[in-house]
Structure 1
């Protein structure tokens, strides 16, 4: 792939202009699209919620992606949002195996396992032997998840719990109010907004809630499930209060 083309596609991705990425790559003859271009096309289709089409492109370069953790993560992402959780689990397991440091791969793996268990009406046993914690068996887990949709909760085997959001559409108009300053509505921008909310509305949790965002995912985590439940519900309620969330966002600092 040409360096200038990659720079342009990256710029569009960072600005959530995924339709432009799709159009640009589709204009390139199929025979001239290398592995990286096909993967970027499929990623853009994921971000446009065209998951079935994205999967077809990912599968067209499956052999080349066998040892690429990003290929496994991205196809797993598509399977997850199609609610094909078994396929998502396989993909995320391979992604984590190839890149053990990928926290987002682990997060989506646990979330896929939780979703698969719920779909099968199974009890989720996620146990931390040291603390005797069983997050998955706590009925409040599902109750809170329902209240905070489209945010999600992920219970980890080490006893921690994460709150995540695949960014892109939810409340995107809020971030557009400061687009000229560089805000795009990505995971880092959501982290900046959440940090203001945490400091001003729930300062008692400042030393308990931790941030781990990426460009396409907002993620916070803690070992204290009650703190997470409390924060998650309050933050979602704030997001639904347009006047409040815009006021909080006015003091967010660009990361």
Structure 2
């Protein structure tokens, strides 16, 4: 099941969306003292981009809300690449645990 979807909001403008609180890892996120809201998922995206795909940095913007993660821009390829990075975290509890542990070790603050 794909937790992320890309929609064309207007001609040539795209949004990558994830409904916060609807993933397979929400219980793990909560067990580790976080709230699996849109702001938390922005932190996940930022960590993934910085660690695994720095070439994506500044190719889209973020506009999360409590109930939704949103990245947006006119570079659909960049948003698709971000979705490919994020999707495994939305369904793999072990990967999410590892990401949060690494973030904690680095002193990274999720804005959740």
- Deviation string 1:29-70 (CA, Å, 9 cap, x unpaired) is xxxxxxxxxxxxxxxxxxxxxxxxxxxxxxxxxxxxxxxxxx
Aligned to 2:31: 177
4+ aligned runs moved over 2 Å, structure 1: 237-245
Give the drift of 1:167. Answer: 1.3
Return 5+ residue gaps in structure 1 as ranges: 1-147
Q: Deviation at 1:233? A: 1.8
Contact 2:16–2:72 under 8 Å retained in 1: yes
1:167 is the counterpart of 2:23: no
Residue 40 of structure 2 is aligned to residue 186 of structure 1: no
Structure 1: how far apart are the matches of 2:89 and 2:38?
Answer: 18
Deviation, structure 1 residue 200: 0.7
Taking only aligned residues, the RMSD between alpha carbons, in angstroms, comes to: 1.9
The TM-score normalised by the length of structure 1 is: 0.38
Contact 2:48/2:85 (<8 A) preserved: no
Inter-partner Cα distance in structure 2 for 1:241 and 1:209: 25
Which fold has the larger relative contact order, with Cα–Cα distance below 8 Å and residues 6 or more apart in sequence?
A: 2
| Structure 2 residues not aligned, in runs of 5+ | none
The answer as to whether partners of 1:196 and 1:249 remain within 8 angstroms in 2 is: no
Give 2:57's aligned residue: 206
Q: How many matched pairs? A: 105
2-structure distance, mates of 1:239, 1:217 = 13
Q: Which has the greater radius of gyration?
A: 1
Change (3 A) 1:238 1:186: closer
Report the equivalent of 2:7: 154
Do the aligned partners of residues 217 and 253 (structure 1) sit closer, same or farther apart at CA in structure 2, a change above 3 Å counting? same
Give the Å deviation of 1:213: 0.2
